[in-house]
Structure 1
Amino acid sequence: MSDQACDCCRSTTVRTTEPASHDRWLVGRPVRDAPLPQAVGRNVGRLLGEEPVDTLAGFVVAIRDATGGGSLAVDDLCHAATETPHRAAMDGEGYFFQCFYDGVALAHLADESVEIRTESPAGEPVEMRASPDGTVDVTPPDAAVSFGVAADGDAPRSADPTPEEVYGAICPYVKAFPSREAYDRWAESIDVATVGLPLAAGVPIAAALAE
């Protein structure tokens, strides 16, 4: 997918009201079954024209169903024609992407080890090495990842959103951070409900969206 075709990384909305009081950090294990904050689940349901979801597992199933359930290919990812903060290297070849999520998806789709480098919204570097056996090494070790869906005012209102609309509502809120504290600062600054978890635990969730 070319950078011209991708509208998945529009800017996030800066918060103009007080942050929500819910706990944004997933603490349950496995994380797929940990309860989502209600606001996140409601936004997923509204985006898809369905009932709210209550876990990350439900989040993945709902998104996959809404986008047709087919597997992505490397060419389907949001490649960038110029340098971006989101880059990956595999088998001697480099890639630049519109979003951090695309590098994670590449790691899932490839049969080779993939080196991923991205930046948090504050410009802090986060690096990850994903191996074909599922091993994930992250730097810094306390790095975090976020998931979310565009707020009510931004989410598509169609009862049958296109895959582009769905990913366009999700990708701006799949971000990497050097720590939970960095995630919390960002989450408090935007008007969209998100959830955070350790990056190593979140990679399989992001990868499942590409299966």
Structure 2
Amino acid sequence: MSDESCNCADLAVDQTPKQTTNADSWVAERPVKTARLPEAMADNMGRFFGESIETFDDMISAIRNVVEGDGIAVDELCHVEKETPHYANTEDETYYFRCFYDGIALAHLVDEPVEIRTETPTNDPIEIQASPEGEIDVTPSNAVMSFGVAADCEVPAGHGPTAQGVYGAVCPYVKAFHTREDYERWETDVAATTVGIPLDAGVSIAAALTVSAPEAAE
């Protein structure tokens, strides 16, 4: 997705004090894709997508439905024409993104290792080596990440969200942090319901969002 058509870096939304409280926003259950989401996030995300959302797998399915079930492609990532703190290097090209997670998704789409660099909301650097086989090396090793959905997201009655709506309501809350404690401090100040997991645990979600429909059904 081009820089012009992606609104997932709406800082006004990102920095507004949250309207709801998610007291238990960390998921330790594994495998992560079948883990249950925190209740507040599950309820809010279900309202946004107009369907029952209980697990990460349900979230993945709902997002894939918005992109017609074929998985996210390279041109549907949130590319930015100028330099950003979130970039990914392949052997031949550098990609700049709105979000670090696009770099992890990219590793599953270009079928080669990808070197990713990002910054946390407090401008601390994180470096990631990701492979198309799902292997990942993160510095610092205990880095974590978040998923979320805006607390005040709106969906027109009788219609599910558009891809643009997902970018605006979900993507601003996909962040990387040095530690779980950093995530939990950030989580208390955003207008969203969120969930935190170790960054390396999020790789399987990126893979599931990018694979083609037949593979996703296996």
* CA distance in 2 between partners of 1:202 and 1:160 (Å): 25
Identity %: 50
**2:156 maps to 1:154:** no
Structure 2 residue identity aligned to 1:45: G
Aligned to 1:198: 198
Over 3 Å counting, the alpha-carbon distance change for 1:33 and 1:73 in structure 2 is closer
Change (3 A) 1:72 1:54: closer
Deviations 1:53-111, CA, capped at 9 Å, x for gaps: 11111111122123311133222222111111100000132111112221121112121
Aligned twin of 2:39:
38
Name stretches of at least 5 consecutive residues in structure 2 with no aligned partner: 212-218
1:196 alignment partner, SS class = strand
Mapped contact 1:113–1:130 kept (Cα < 8 A): yes
1:167 CA displacement? 2.6
TM-score, length basis structure 1: 0.91
2:16 touches 2:191 (CA, 8 Å); kept in 1?
Answer: yes
Aligned equivalent of 1:182: 182
Residue of structure 1 in register with 2:214 after alignment: none
TM-score (norm 2): 0.89
Conserved? CA contact 1:101–1:171, under 8 Å: no
1:44-59 equivalences in 2 (<5 Å): 44-51=45-52, 53-59=53-59
Runs of 4+ in 1 over 4 A off after TM superposition: none
Distance 2:97 2:148 in 1: 19
CA change 1:155–1:127 in 2 (3 A) is: farther
How far apart, in 1, do the equivalents of 2:168 and 2:88 lie?
A: 21
Structure 1 runs not aligned, ≥5 long: none
Q: Measure the CA separation in 2 of the matches of 1:160 and 1:16.
A: 24
1:107-126 matches, cutoff 5 A: 107-126=107-126
Aligned to 2:168: 168
**C-alpha root-mean-square deviation of aligned residues, in Å?**
1.7
Q: Which residue of 1 aligns with 2:104?
A: 104
